[in-house]
Structure formats: structure tokens, C-alpha cells
Structure 1
Amino acid sequence: MELLDDIPMHRYREIGWSFLTSTSFPIFCVYLLMVNQLGTIKRAIPIPYDLRQLMGVYNLVISVVNVYCFVGFMQCLLEAPSLYEKTPNAKLSFIFYVYWITKVCELLDTVFMILRHRFRQISPLHVYHHASMLLLSDLGYTRYAWAAFAMPLMLNALVHVFLYLYYGLTAMGWQPSWKRRLTELQIVQFVIDLVHASIGVLYHNFCYWSLGYGLSMLYLFTAFYIRTYLRAGENQKRQ
């Protein structure tokens, strides 16, 4: 995801103010408060819920909506004169809006984990990713309905097509064999995002936050991949 601006450093505070005054900021605060009170919530819900059927439908719906977002972003990018175009686009604005709605709905991932007592899955990576994407997607449809901002979100929508398809199939009793490939796809996504952002910073006056956010996501997902698949595999071989 890129935070873009036509005016350099002195506008960064204005972008920060946009976060604080956004529709998503109260949701963001409630979400972080919920995550901070996991112990209290666990005591209030002593027995885990079986939500497999609900989660199957939920995840498949999110996957399908991300198909719509991916196709919409891609069509607008093909019509744009450049991947770094910063002209407001009414068609893109609606797609950004639908995309933002998916980010609000995806906060239910954490709610489902809580209700199912899957507290270990609520990792710093999980919280950081969901919370930050909520604010960034809001910024997209309210201020930056541009092709330049749509490029990384298009990739994210594509990843989420397969991610939520995997979750949906798992909830319905199937166990796809490509779980590891999903994390690899996410890492590739952030590498492409960083290349796009680097060219944007050098030649198109992109905000430096784009690089910082891309690097943070690449680091966190790469660390998760190494810990989950590479080191775990080495430990199994030793045993």
C-alpha cells in the first residue's frame, strides 16, 4: 500500500490528520481495545463456539468480493495512462469504497478467533495487518482514488481471493495443500509493492511512508514464513 502526496514533507501531518478524522478511526480504536482485552473476553466466553458453517459462507463471500475488487482495479489500471497516475477517478472511487467495506468486514476474522478460542492466532502480525489496512483503505477511497494507489491494492485483492477461498474451504471440511504457497504469494506481493513504491519515490513524488509500510509488511511476513515453514521443517528433521 502506498501513501501518496503531491506535496512533500510538510503534508505528512495532514495525512496523519486524515487518519484521525476518518470514518475508520473509531472502528480502529474499538478493534485495538478488543484485542487488548482478550483475557477479559476469554473469561466472559468460557466455552468456544463452533462457527464452521458461518465461517465457510463468510470466507467465500469475502473471496468473491475480492474478485470484483481485483477485476475493477485491473480494468482501471489498464485504462490509466500510467501505473503512477494521480488523477481522481470516479469509477476507481467506487471500487475503493467496496474494497474498504471488505477491510471492515475482515475484522470479523479476529472476532471469530476469539469466539472459537483461537487466541494464539491473534498475533502482532495479524493485528497490525488488519488494523493498518482498515485505515489505508479508508484513505484510498476518501482521498486517493488514483491508479497509483490502486496498483498495490489490486495485488492485495488478488491475494485475498485465494486466502479467503482457502479459509472457506477449510471451514467446510476440505484441507487444500497450498497453505504455504499463500504466504509465499503474500511475500511476492510486498516485493512488487516495494518495487512500485521505490520507483514512485524516485520519480513520481510518492510519500516515503509507502516504503516504510511495505518494508514492515515484508519483514513480518518473511519472519512468519521462516518461523512457520523453514525452522519448523528443520526441527522436524532433527527429531
Structure 2
Amino acid sequence: MNLSVGLTSGLFQNYDTIQAEKRALNVDSWFLMSSPLPVASVLAAYLLFVLKLGPAFMRDRKPLQLTYLLVVYNFCQSVESGALQSFYRNVFQPNNPSRIPLSPTLASASWWYFFSKLVELLDTVFFVLRKNQRQVTFLHVYHHTITAGGSWCFLKYLPGEQGLIVGLFNCAVHVFMYFYYMLAALGPSFHKYLWWKPYITILQMAQFIMVMIYTSSIIIFNDKLPTILSYFFLANAAFFAYLFSDFYKKTYNPNKKYSSVRGTLKLN
């Protein structure tokens, strides 16, 4: 069997068409898209800093006060998430030609989403510089690493509509999450307004459940999209749904009262 025929069946529906359109858009010439080396270097540097070099550097130093930087950073992240969500919603309209399998609009949105995930690595860097190492958990670091690396691989190798839907859900959650952290960064006088922090985790869990339902429906009913992407998103969403639910049970024990924002973990 011809290799291209094999790839366009089973897990790789529309593979040849997607690759042809990606080449026509010259995606490989875009910033950080030429090869895996640049993004792999960024992620390696991130892991080295947040897990080893950063904590060692801060060990005998006082935590940095980053109040104004955090307010501006989280505000910009919330606005950027809202802008990306609006962009995704405009693309995902019935009979919109800017959808399947790949178009300049969808490819551009995918690149900006990937780049936003690189910027979000700063979440962990700020934790380290503020000596808040308890927030640098396996879930937090794994999430940031797999999301940044996965979104690059998605655009580089096999972009599909599934990523559009997953990105839409993710950006919707980030609007509220980063707005919450902007208010938290303003100081204790604002903490009394942050009673809704447990609902952010609930929203995050709902996001993963919706991704699981959506990708399952693609696997069962859709024969035009690359099924391998659906399996990846389904497995990843199921893993995170479990981890987030475990975090929720441990953090928001109904027998405890949380009057500060310290129990909230910036995960997504």
C-alpha cells in the first residue's frame, strides 16, 4: 500500500490535504516553527530554572515583590485569552470557509495560541522568584510543559479542527482565571472579594469533561478529521480531569474554611 494512502486512512484522515495546505501557508518559516530545537530549548530552560536553578538562586534571598508586574501580567493574560476566544468563536461558525482542514485564519490562530502558552511559562517563573515553591507541583509544571510542547506539535505536524475547540474551551477558562489572579495580586484588601476561587477549579474540570465528550464524538461520528488528535486530546483531558479533581478534594475540603487566596493553585 502506498504510504500516503495509508496515512489518509484510520488515524490520519485528511493528512495529505492538511500537509499540502500547511506547506502552501509556509508554516515552517514562521517564528519558532522551523524545527523542534527552539521550542525544545525554551522548555528545557524552563524546567531547569523552575526545578533547580531558580530555587537554588533564591534560597538565601528574600522573595521578590512583583505586585505591579503581576497585576499587569495577569490583566494582559486575561485580555489576551478573551481576544483569542473571540477569534476562535468567529472562526467556528457554520459553513465558515476558514475551518477544515486548514486555512490561513486557523493556522494563524493556532500559532498565537502556541505562543501564548510559551508566555504562560512565566507563571512558574514568578512562583520561583517569589519563593512560592509549593505551587511548583507536578501538575502545574507538567501542564505548562505539555501544553506548550503539544500546541507546537499540533501546528507543526497535524493541525486539525479539534485544536480549535480545545483552544476555545481553554481560553474561556483563562479569562476568569487570570482575572482572579490579577485581583489576588492587588493585595489582601481584595481577597475578601475572591470567595469564588473554588469555582475556577470547577470550571477547569468542566472544561476537561467537555473536551472528553467532544473528542469522543469525533472518534465515533466524524470521518474527516485526524482521529489520532482526538485520541491525544481525549487521553490528556481524562488525565487532567483526574488530577484536577484530586486537587479540588485536597484543597477545598468542605470541613475547612479558606479565607485567603493561598490555597489556590494556578494550574491551567
TM-score range, shorter chain: 0.7 to 0.9
Q: Taking structure 2 as the reference length, what is the TM-score of the superposition?
A: 0.74
Q: Which runs of 5+ in 1 are unaligned?
A: 12-17
One-letter code aligned to 2:227: F
Relative distance call for 1:35 and 1:28 in structure 2 (3 A) is same
Task: Give deviations 1:104-151, integer Å, cap 9, x for gaps.
Answer: 111111111111000001111110111111012223433444333200
Relative distance call for 1:198 and 1:118 in structure 2 (3 A) is same
Structure with the larger RCO, 1 or 2 (CA within 8 Å, 6+ apart): 1
Is contact 1:183–1:225 with CA below 8 Å preserved after alignment? yes
- RMSD of Structure 2 on Structure 1 (CA): 2.5
2:117 pairs with one of 75, 89, 103: 103
Comparing 203-212 and 158-167, the one that deviates more: 203-212
Is contact 2:55–2:133 with CA below 8 Å preserved after alignment? no
CA distance in 1, matches of 2:95, 2:57: 47
Equivalent residue, structure 1, for 2:82: 67
What is the Cα deviation at residue 201 of structure 1? Answer: 2.0
Q: Taking structure 1 as the reference length, what is the TM-score of the superposition?
A: 0.83
Equivalent residue, structure 2, for 1:40: 56
Which segments of structure 1 move beyond 3 Å, counting only runs of 4 or more? 5-11, 79-82, 140-146
Is contact 2:162–2:215 with CA below 8 Å preserved after alignment? no
Higher helix residue share: 1
Identity %: 28
CA distance in 2, matches of 1:64, 1:216: 28
Equivalent residue, structure 1, for 2:202: 184
Q: Which runs of 5+ in 2 are unaligned?
A: 1-6, 14-32, 258-268
- The 5 A counterparts of 1:1-239 are 7-8=9-10, 21=36, 23-37=38-52, 39-43=55-59, 46-80=61-95, 86-173=100-187, 174-175=190-191, 176-204=194-222, 205-207=226-228, 208-229=231-252, 232-234=253-255
Is contact 2:71–2:186 with CA below 8 Å preserved after alignment? yes
**Larger-gyration structure (1/2):** 2
Is contact 2:176–2:200 with CA below 8 Å preserved after alignment? yes
CA distance in 2, matches of 1:187, 1:87: 28
